[in-house]
């Protein structure tokens, strides 16, 4: 399938036979690792870490060296696109992301331009190239972006939100403006992911962190519609290989069937969705990624191991499963507990795959 030494992750996403279930972890390069914290301190700020390709490459590689995950994921942030649109992104301790110039009016939306990934987002694309070189074919590299809807929530609110009052008000009162903004964002996300693919990303993932905040009808109209548009614009063939695509909506368990219709190869599951029921609902249309509760990693090793076993048994026999958490790892998790999880997946998953498949 490729010249990768370990392509289990790609084969599982395409529902091809594997010898064991591959694993990686959302936020696997992050604050729970002391070696990450050391590089972050050297960088001076989170944004300086994100925008320095050499340092972004260094922290991307750290969890692979420590745990031997079956995939690397580009170290970056989901808000790079709005930052490249000139909204003035900053991060303050304890406050999270903030935009100096949020998008609130028709004029603001009309002024949004699709960034050129090789210009305004060159630091990300350079990081992809550098990581790909450093990986030397060990494992696949995942590129990613926030979804159009999730990017819009931050851009309109200007920061993180619990109620999403500003963005929902815009959606309800001026839906045509919301659609105009989301269309621009879908084009931007697709261009960004296509640039990551061209630079060497072996798979791409769309993070719809806030789609689950919407009603059924609004999710389909304002979130999933634009995730589908992104998928339709993606160039998923490179060097004769298919680049698998993953769509993850946190809180999206209600909409798995509709998500499976969008054309993505795999769906990420949060921990509130039963993986066995999810598999029954989507059949063999898509692979599934997930979905252990991240809080499990605070538990004792024997509990972690048992919970890994439950997720694997829940999915059952056959390919099409990538083991992951149901959301990102939390900053104060013991790194040794991650090793317990990874080792348990390696040890317990072969029984669910035909020997030597």
DSSP secondary structure, 288-328, as one string:
EEEEE-GGGGGS-HHHHHHHHHHHHHHH-SSS-EEEEESSP
Query: Which one of the listed residues 11, 20, 27, 279 is annotated catalytic?
Result: 27
| C-alpha 41 chain-centroid distance | 25
Query: Which one of the listed residues 7, 11, 67, 77 is annotated catalytic?
Result: 77
Q: Give residues with Cβ within 8 angstroms of 61, minimum separation 6.
A: 72, 131, 134, 135
Active site residue 66: no
| C-alpha 4 chain-centroid distance | 21
Query: Which one of the listed residues 36, 154, 226, 264 is annotated catalytic?
Result: 154
Active site residue 101: no
Residue ranges for the known binding site are: 27-31, 77, 154, 209, 327
CB atoms within 10 A of CB 258: 14
Active site residue 31: yes
Q: Max alpha carbon distance in the chain (Å)?
A: 60
Query: Which one of the listed residues 40, 83, 208, 265 is annotated catalytic?
Result: 40
Residue ranges for the known binding site for substrate are: 27-31, 77, 154, 209, 327
Residue pair 289/267 in contact (Cβ under 8 Å)? The answer is yes
Residue pair 245/265 in contact (Cβ under 8 Å)? The answer is yes
The H or E element spanning position 169 is helix 165-173
Residue pair 49/56 in contact (Cβ under 8 Å)? The answer is yes
Residue 291, preceding bond cis, omega within 30 degrees? Answer: yes
Active site residue 261: no
Q: Give residues with Cβ within 8 angstroms of 342, minimum separation 6.
A: 23, 67, 68, 69
Closest C-alpha among 278, 263, 272, 267 to residue 315: 278
Q: Could you give the residue numbers annotated as active site?
A: 27, 31, 40, 77, 154
């Amino acid at each position: 399938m490729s010249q990768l030494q370990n392509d289990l992750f790609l084969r599982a996403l395409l529902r091809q036979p594997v010898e064991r279930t591959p694993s990686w972890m959302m936020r696997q390069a992050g604050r729970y690792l002391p070696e990450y914290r050391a590089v972050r301190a050297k960088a001076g700020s989170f944004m300086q870490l994100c925008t320095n390709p050499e340092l972004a490459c260094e922290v991307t590689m750290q969890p692979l060296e420590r745990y031997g995950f079956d995939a690397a994921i580009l170290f970056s942030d989901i808000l790079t696109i709005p930052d490249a649109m000139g909204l003035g992104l900053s991060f303050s301790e304890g406050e999270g992301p903030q935009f100096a110039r949020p998008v609130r009016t028709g004029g603001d939306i009309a002024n949004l331009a699709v960034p050129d990934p090789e210009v305004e987002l060159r630091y990300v694309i350079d990081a992809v190239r550098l990581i790909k070189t450093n990986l030397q074919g060990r494992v696949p590299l995942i590129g990613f972006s926030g979804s159009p809807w999730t990017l819009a929530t931050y851009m309109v609110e200007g920061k993180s939100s619990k109620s999403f009052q500003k963005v929902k008000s815009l959606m309800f009162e001026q839906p045509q403006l919301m659609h105009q903004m989301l269309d621009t964002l879908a084009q931007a996300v697709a261009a960004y992911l296509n640039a990551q693919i061209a630079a060497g990303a072996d798979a791409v993932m769309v993070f719809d962190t806030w789609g689950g905040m919407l009603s059924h009808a609004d999710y389909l109209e304002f979130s999933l519609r634009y995730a589908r548009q992104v998928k339709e614009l993606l160039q998923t063939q490179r060097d004769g290989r298919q680049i698998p695509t993953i769509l993850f909506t946190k809180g999206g368990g209600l909409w798995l069937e509709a998500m499976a219709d969008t054309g993505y190869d795999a769906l990420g599951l949060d921990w509130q969705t039963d993986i066995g029921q999810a598999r029954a609902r989507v059949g063999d249309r898509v692979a599934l990624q997930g979905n252990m509760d991240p809080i499990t990693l605070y538990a004792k090793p024997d509990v972690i191991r048992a919970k890994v076993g439950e997720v694997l048994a829940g999915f059952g026999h056959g390919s099409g499963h990538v083991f992951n958490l149901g959301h990102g790892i939390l900053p104060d998790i013991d790194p040794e507990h991650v090793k317990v999880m990874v080792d348990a997946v390696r040890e317990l998953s072969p029984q669910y795959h035909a020997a030597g498949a």
